[in-house]
Structure 1
Amino acid sequence: MGAPIDSGTSHRSGAKFGPQAIRGGDYLPHDGQRPHLALRTDGLKDLKVFDAGDLLMPGGDLVASLAVLREATEKISRAGAIAVVLGGDHSIASADVAGIANHLGRGKVSMVHFDAHADTGEDQWGALVGHGTPMRNLINDGYVRGDRFLQLGLRGYWPDNATLEWMRDQGMRSYEMTEIHHRGLKAVLDESFATLTDGCDGVFLSVDIDVVDPGMAPGTGTPEPGGMTSRELLEAVRRICLELPVVGIDVVEVAPAFDSADITAILANRVVLEALSAIAKRRSGSAYNPTQNLLDR
């Protein structure tokens, strides 16, 4: 479902048009099929996938809009389904994760957060709710434990030292791009997975598209050079959804007005398909070896 709001943005707006762009970011026919070449599964056929359209959100009222989203994801979770939310700016994470945690239990959902920015601000230009604050709000409100919170792809010139100290005090695992570049994304994921499932019943995957270098994903509100490649993101999403019990997903901050040839929207579309395909593969119980030749799988 779409969450078409961008009143939480701090720089360039336009993410409210993200859900439409993500759905349309595909050159393949709309035939209800998406056979994944590497995984040899079809996320749209092997899972029961339903697009509920965009939520009706009160224009100009961010708090009320987030309440609508929180109620929706809680209902989806209670029905035994996985909510996949198309943003919208990243303020939606404070609601979609909260709704699922209201069902599964506070502190029972861990978090994997791809982003150029930590989104752990105490406030945003005086506002307590915005796309720079959701992760702090989730931890402060007890929905997610800080020591079950993984961040990947941080870089640039924020947050400040006081915010970094707060993050450290919460026990967060936050990986800046320099460390990821030198150690490798695989090593970072290897050392984090066991923590994410310790004492938690599910994992929420939150992907801010600005985690990817703006050369590959320019259509976003707060681009930051030096990010992941699109391939790195897709492979990480695949592995997370193959190996961890994912209970919810959001893909946020696609702003099509700043896109070039729809490459950001297409990437976000593929992030969703990658996640669905990997979840289907996990449920099938069949093995996947990324080093095996395609025709031998």
Structure 2
Amino acid sequence: MNQLPAADGFLALPDENLADYKTAKYVIQQVPYEHTSSYLEGSAKGPAAIVSASHFVEFYDEELDMESYRSGGIVTMEEMDFTSKVDEEAMVLIDEETSKHINAGKYVVSLGAEHTVTNGFVRAHKRKYPEMAVLQIDAHSDLRESYHDNIYSHASVMKRVHDMKVPLVQIGIRAQCKEESELMKSSDIINTFYAHKIRKDTKWMDKAIACLPKHVYLSIDADGFDPSIMPAVGTAEPNGLFWSETLEFLRRVFAEREVIGFDVLECAPIEGSILSEFTLAKLVYRLIGYHSIKH
């Protein structure tokens, strides 16, 4: 997989030396895999849209009082090619590409289409961090055994994670089926913080972080946010998370645990609007900043 020129990559960095694979600490993967969308389609365009929007994000982060990209550099890879690859073959490709970066000592940030791709990311990170957990920000549980007869559906991705015996902490859930609810009640490795409950619990952040082990892989579905700030998603749900509360929580997670990698997924761009992709680009840069101040 080739890297993009600095001017075309995340943030359109002004210095090629800070956007070169050999020296950069952070690798941005673009993973436009979309095969099982169940409502609105278009998430395959999400990764490129986020990268494009990032060209208008300020280098200076006012919260962190720093230009985070200078802490190690950020290189952006070309989009993965899923021609003739679906389901398990696609997951193997994602696992292989992610593992290459991990083995090269990079911190991997993945921009994905449908949530299915987290399956491959988790496989790769679990190999290095066997005691890891997944922190999922999402409107949906994604714990169905299968959906439309496909175990690789975006609606089943966290069931596949559960099958790997990886503990799961879910934040902002507000849509699920009875099958998922029953699994969550019976499993001792799933901790779910429903959107309607965290609104009434001032200690929810403390409780959620207490459920996490040292090593955490973070997976963010764009529909975890409220549609008022994140309209460009496949299946929007009301009563979502907002910017300030989410960033307050994630800053604590990065500070109190080791976030070993993260993904941002399920942005389906809306023609004539850049609200969602710009917000996600700023989110990615802020999270890189949270990681860099600790490392």
Q: TM-score range by the shorter chain?
A: 0.7 to 0.9
Counterparts of 2:84 and 2:225, CA distance in 1 = 29
Partner residue, 2:243: 230
Partner residue, 1:153: 172
- The Cα of 1:48 is off from its aligned counterpart by 3.1
- The Cα of 1:49 is off from its aligned counterpart by 1.9
Unaligned runs of 5+ in 1: 284-297
- Written as runs of structure 1 = structure 2, the 5 A alignment for 1:10-29 is 10-26=38-54, 28=56
Are the counterparts in 1 of residues 193 and 208 from structure 2 also a CA contact under 8 Å? Answer: no
- Written as runs of structure 1 = structure 2, the 5 A alignment for 1:118-133 is 118-133=141-156
SS in 2 for 1:192: helix
Are the counterparts in 2 of residues 94 and 134 from structure 1 also a CA contact under 8 Å? Answer: yes
Unaligned runs of 5+ in 2: 1-28
- The Cα of 1:163 is off from its aligned counterpart by 2.0
- The Cα of 1:230 is off from its aligned counterpart by 2.5
- The Cα of 1:227 is off from its aligned counterpart by 0.8
Matched, 1:164 2:181: yes
Partner residue, 2:159: 136
Normalising by structure 1, report the TM-score: 0.84
Counterparts of 1:213 and 1:228, CA distance in 2 = 5
Counterparts of 1:26 and 1:49, CA distance in 2 = 12
- The Cα of 1:60 is off from its aligned counterpart by 5.9
- The Cα of 1:83 is off from its aligned counterpart by 1.1
Partner residue, 1:282: 294
Counterparts of 2:191 and 2:87, CA distance in 1 = 29
SS in 2 for 1:128: coil
Aligned with residue 2 of structure 1, among 17, 23, 30 = 30
Residues 233-266 of structure 1: CA distance to partner in whole angstroms, max 9, x if unpaired?
Answer: 233233322332111100000000x366211101
- Written as runs of structure 1 = structure 2, the 5 A alignment for 1:158-197 is 158-160=176-178, 162-171=179-188, 172-184=190-202, 187-197=203-213
Are the counterparts in 1 of residues 223 and 230 from structure 2 also a CA contact under 8 Å? Answer: yes
Provide the identity percentage.
23
- The Cα of 1:27 is off from its aligned counterpart by 5.9
Structure-2 change in CA distance of 1:110 and 1:45 (3 Å): same
Counterparts of 1:222 and 1:59, CA distance in 2 = 26
Counterparts of 1:80 and 1:140, CA distance in 2 = 27
Matched, 1:114 2:137: yes
Counterparts of 1:96 and 1:259, CA distance in 2 = 29
Aligned with residue 249 of structure 1, among 262, 268, 278 = 262
SS in 1 for 2:140: coil
Are the counterparts in 2 of residues 243 and 282 from structure 1 also a CA contact under 8 Å? Answer: no
Structure-2 change in CA distance of 1:176 and 1:22 (3 Å): same
Are the counterparts in 1 of residues 191 and 211 from structure 2 also a CA contact under 8 Å? Answer: no
Matched to 1:155, the amino acid is R
Counterparts of 1:19 and 1:282, CA distance in 2 = 26
Counterparts of 2:276 and 2:136, CA distance in 1 = 18
Are the counterparts in 1 of residues 172 and 241 from structure 2 also a CA contact under 8 Å? Answer: yes
| Greater per-residue strand proportion | 2
Matched to 1:237, the amino acid is L
- The Cα of 1:168 is off from its aligned counterpart by 2.3
SS in 1 for 2:227: coil
